[in-house]
Amino acid sequence: MKIIIVGCGKIGTSILASLVGEGSDVVAVDDNPAVIEEIGNIYDVMCVCGNGADTETLEEAGVSKCDLFVAVTNSDELNMLACFVAERMGAQHTIARIRKPEYNDQSLDFLSKQLGLTVSVNPEWMAAKEIYNILKLPAVANIENFSGGNLEMIELKLRQNSVLDGMNLIEIRKKYNAKFLVCAVQRGEDVYIPDGNFVLKSGDKVGITSSTSESLKLFRMWNLMQSSAKSVMILGASRIAYYLAKRLIHSGNRVVVVDSDREVCKSFAEELPEAVVICGDGAEQELLLEEGLDSVDAFVSLTGMDELNILISIFAMSKNVPKVITKVNRRELASMAANLGLDCVLSPPKTVSDVLAGYARAIRNSQGTNSIETLYRLMDGNVEALEFNVSKDFRGLRTPLKDLSLKPNILIAGIIRGRKSMIPGGLDEIHTGDRVVVIVAGQQLVDLDDILQ
């Protein structure tokens, strides 16, 4: 499968690394010679230096034989133009990063149709949505939704003295009357797809599938229930901050935004007059305290500097802010942040690369029968959760799950039938038209048939 990526910044490089890991034939295009040289030194990919909307550059990259063309430069307009030209030159599928709010309102559908875009992605909007969902359920470290929200996968870290410490999964299911499934556990560097005899310990990062209502029931029983954040302080008046603040204000939350750039603050305040915008250095702890850091329900660090986000988040934790969310773009720093005790670390490049990886696999499976609807990477990228559409050709149709011969480290974590979501048991079956959520570690799935021996 041939994929061309135009724009090798943070997002583009993350997508490139992900797709190279998928085994795709990737071509990197960027107009900065230094960036292209660095990409060529790190990754085994073809590199082309030039403008991604230039026909000669695209011809050199082999656009006429391209299965997937991805434009993720810093310019929305260049991304749209590059995809338009690529589609006219023979690219089968085109994806553009479109970030500006004015393009992401009513005009986006019109632009997509006129330009022949297959998909548009907005990393900032996606990150804001992810943060907003976490703020509604502060006890979790991450939430991923399947099938329009009928089923969700939540990640949480078991605190010291957790009621689940020392219990195996069979005991937990018997004791707590709720429909859920513990489908992945990370303990240190090790990741497990657990069976019923697996014993949980404090400090584990646990992945659980359930419906939203069942998740709330579980959290009450496990003494994890916290009120959704009503007052939120955001450090950094970025695009993510804009999309997040807009959602929060619409929901009736109080929002304080801190940024050191006076012009950015002025623009932010004009666009969202309901927000309290403070112009000042967010690295100054006294400023944050003066603006009420120690009395807010949540603190979200969204500056362009990973190191600053980590340090100020640790400071916020020291002031007992109930929920702290940290944006970290670099993978190595994200791991460091987790080791420092920050259990809610967000990475927009990872979010987008997961979406693109799922889309690329769906294209690879275009000759198959059970297509991928959604793909998420969990547990620091060591586990994948995939949602498949089930066709009439699936080999395991109408067979009780207990009788299916699954490959190792694979778990069927959910079945969505119409608007009903199920946490499956051994007697449940998969039917044509279902959507099935599969958890897998250590291998790649392209088709639902890949789960069977």
Strands (E), 202-253: 205-210, 231-235
- Tell whether 382 and 419 lie within a shared domain: yes
Q: Which of 62, 86, 121 is the last residue of a domain?
A: 121
- Tell whether 259 and 317 lie within a shared domain: yes
- Asked whether residue 225 carries a pLDDT value surpassing 90, the answer given is no
- Tell whether 11 and 115 lie within a shared domain: yes
Mean pLDDT, range 116-122, rounded to an integer: 89
For 378-400, write each residue's pLDDT tens digit: 998 899 999 999 999 999 999 99
Q: Which two tokens stand for residue 233?
A: 């302080």
Q: Which of 121, 145, 171 is the last residue of a domain?
A: 121
AA letter at 184 = A
Distance CA 411, CA 34 (A): 44
- Tell the residue number behind the tokens 């993720």, with chain if given: 72
pTM of this prediction? 0.90
For 133-158, write each residue's pLDDT tens digit: 999 888 899 999 997 777 999 999 99
In a domain, 368, yes or no: yes
Count the domains in the chain.
3
CATH number, position 307: 3.40.50.720
Contact 346, 325 (CB under 8 A): yes
Among left, alpha and beta (phi > 0; psi -120 to 50; other), residue 112 is alpha
- Tell whether 103 and 34 lie within a shared domain: yes
Distance CA 11, CA 337 (A): 20
Cβ neighbours around 7 below 10 Å, total: 27
Mean pLDDT, range 94-104, rounded to an integer: 89
Give 274-304 as a DSSP string: TSEEEES-TT-HHHHHHTTGGG-SEEEE--S
- Tell whether 34 and 109 lie within a shared domain: yes
- Asked whether residue 129 carries a pLDDT value surpassing 80, the answer given is yes
Identify the DSSP state of 198: P
pLDDT for the residue 409: 95
In a domain, 85, yes or no: yes
Task: Determine the structural domain holding residue 87 and report its residue range.
Answer: 2-121
- Tell whether 266 and 362 lie within a shared domain: no
In a domain, 67, yes or no: yes
For 401-452, write each residue's pLDDT tens digit: 999 999 999 999 999 999 899 999 999 999 999 999 999 999 999 999 999 9
In angstroms, what CA-CA distances link 207 with 158, 314, 326, 346? 11, 24, 20, 16
- Tell whether 356 and 447 lie within a shared domain: yes
Q: Which of 66, 97, 121 is the last residue of a domain?
A: 121
DSSP-based three-state secondary structure for 136: helix
Task: Kindly give the interhelix angle for 123-136 and 239-250, rounded to the nearest 10 degrees.
Answer: 40
- Tell whether 311 and 413 lie within a shared domain: no
In a domain, 340, yes or no: no
In a domain, 150, yes or no: no
In a domain, 342, yes or no: no
Q: What is the percent of the chain with per-residue pLDDT over 70, rounded to a whole number? A: 98
**Paired sense of beta strands 383-389 and 372-378, if any:** antiparallel
Print burial letters for 145-182: b (CB count within 10 Å at least 16), e (below 16).
Answer: bbbeebbbbbbbbbeeebebeebebeebbeeeebbbbb
